[in-house]
Amino acid sequence: MAAASVLVEAPSTPPPFSLEPEANLAWNRALWGDKATWVDTHRYGYKWFDGMQQENCGPSVLVEKFLLPHLHGQRGLRSMEIGCGAGRLAAELIRLSHVTHLIDINPVCVQMCRDRFRYYPIVHCFQNDGRTIAEFGPNEYDLIAAHDTMIHVAPEIVEGYIEGAVEKLKPGGIIWFDNTQHGPDPERCRAGLSSAEVAAIANRLGLTVEAQYPQSGQDCISVLRKGTPRAVATTQSDEHFRSKIRQVDTELDRALRGASEWNRSRIPHLRGTFIKILRELQLPDAASGAAPILEIGADGQLASAKVLASLTGLEVVATNLIVDGYESRVGDYNITVRQNGIDGLDFPDESFSMIFGRSVLEHISGLPNFIEECYRVLRPGGVMFIDGGAFYYSPSGHHMAVKGVTGTHYGFDVMPDLIPPWFHLLTNAEGMRDFLRDERDVPAEDAEIIGNYIFDSPEQNRLSGRDIIRCFQDGLFRSVKYDCTFVDADPPVELLGSHSRFDLKCHGISFCVTK
């Protein structure tokens, strides 16, 4: 079954916000149908409220707090998202689903999600007319969800979506969406139904209002169930998950308390990593007599090692190429510090129950050999989480931090405009040295060092996203799950003839694998 494609050109300038259905649809098409708005202004939605949605009220947090308790441990859902945008909520739904249908009025959003989730065979993207989901099958879905969508949609249209969802849901299925607490507020571009109106419609349609969660400002998340209500009791598995997240929060705060502002800024990203691990992998634990955990490329604060030691009760062997000062930060944790490179692992066969490596993939020069080494030292049934970036094919090409002969420090943190985006893919080492010397007034000796680092340094590899994925798929591991993130910038057209768009856009990849 395929939903009909309704191609509507997005106006270049959004019309005034309106509660009238047709004018409201025109406003939504214009505002959300422009790719530049998504990419440059909103950064795919992750920059709304100065990025606070990512940390405090982003989809992962909302799902954890306000959806999981209503699923009662159910996974393998058949789910639908209405108004998928750039895929913020979809990224959470696919972790709970075996089939996910993403719907949007705007072809730009549909294509962004197709690009983002192209390697997920469970994800299917469709364009609709902005009003209905009539062409999808009845009694088909466990969950129909919408986030940051229905609050902007005219009340008449929202009511139509709820009516349509009743037919599409299986008995016991859930409608999960946000509405305005007190009704339309055009000054805030809020058009949707009030909480009381949602409850009245649910009552008319025979739905149970299982919960309505007020959010900051004037919004609300409503949870409606088709058929017999279920008590919103936390299941043992859900409570276990939340207790582990609280433990992660405590350990990250403890490990990085008093650390630099830069180190503290990593907390949301580290938290997101461990949420992913807890969702995707079965962690080993001391009670089952599991072997130690190996961390590759441990950070200087040992923050990740401390979280892993706390979550599992196991010894964590924290390794890095340089470990000066690491021992002083071990404290009372069961952590052993070892100096070790990342291309070869100096440990006996089947030594570990888990391998963890964060931000290391870009530094591994011989990735196939590294994967073989991980397989060798991991016990049968062991798990591995590892991530990093295909940085060479990103706009910057690297995260350079070098010191020149003159004593000057060069890096994208201190000199973000030193090298134009994508320039390393348009030139060679000699051209880079000439450019730095002639256009940026970099001394010749320092330009030589920078050029050598970008094109020849063993500290980073030059693999594309597809190269990295292929290495894991061709390796010894048979259970391989991965997730990609993409850069916002569009590559120059002169690169598209010799490089795939996916390789130029794929910035980061994380893998969850099992032996």
What is the 3-state secondary structure of 225-280?
EECCCCCCCCCHHHHHHHHHHHHHHHHHHHHHCCCCHHHHHCHHHHHHHHHHHHHH
> What whole-number distance in Å separates Cα of residue 209 and Cα of residue 222?
7
CB 330 within 8 A of CB 305: no
Which residues, 6 or more positions from 273, have their beta carbon under 8 angstroms from its beta carbon? 304, 358, 385, 387, 510
Q: Shortest CA distance to 236 belongs to which of 72, 64, 66?
A: 72
Number of Cβ within a 10 Å radius of residue 43: 14
The stretches of 315-474 forming alpha helices (DSSP H) are 367-377, 423-426, 429-439, 444-456, 465-473
Angle among Cα 480, 482, 485 to the nearest 5 degrees reads 170
CB 449 within 8 A of CB 405: yes
Domains and CATH numbers, the chain: 21-226 (3.40.50.150), 238-391+463-514 (3.40.50.150), 400-456 (no CATH)
> What whole-number distance in Å separates Cα of residue 457 and Cα of residue 495?
23
> What whole-number distance in Å separates Cα of residue 158 and Cα of residue 467?
44
Q: Please, what are the averages of pLDDT over each run of 10 residues along the chain (515 residues)?
A: 38 59 75 70 56 52 88 89 91 90 91 88 90 89 93 89 94 93 78 88 93 80 83 58 90 91 85 86 89 95 96 96 93 95 85 95 91 95 92 79 87 78 91 94 94 87 90 85 74 84 82 90
> What whole-number distance in Å separates Cα of residue 433 and Cα of residue 452?
9
User: What global pTM score does this model have?
Assistant: 0.59
239-245 long-range contacts, Cβ below 8 Å, gap at least 24?
241/64, 241/68, 241/278, 241/279, 242/64, 244/278, 244/311, 245/64, 245/271, 245/274, 245/275, 245/278
Q: Shortest CA distance to 197 belongs to which of 166, 231, 167, 222?
A: 222
Which residues, 6 or more positions from 483, have their beta carbon under 8 angstroms from its beta carbon? 91, 276, 509, 510
**Can you give 110-159 as a three-state secondary structure string?**
HHHHHHHCCCCCCEEEEECCCCCCCCCCCCCEEEEEECCCHHHCCHHHHH
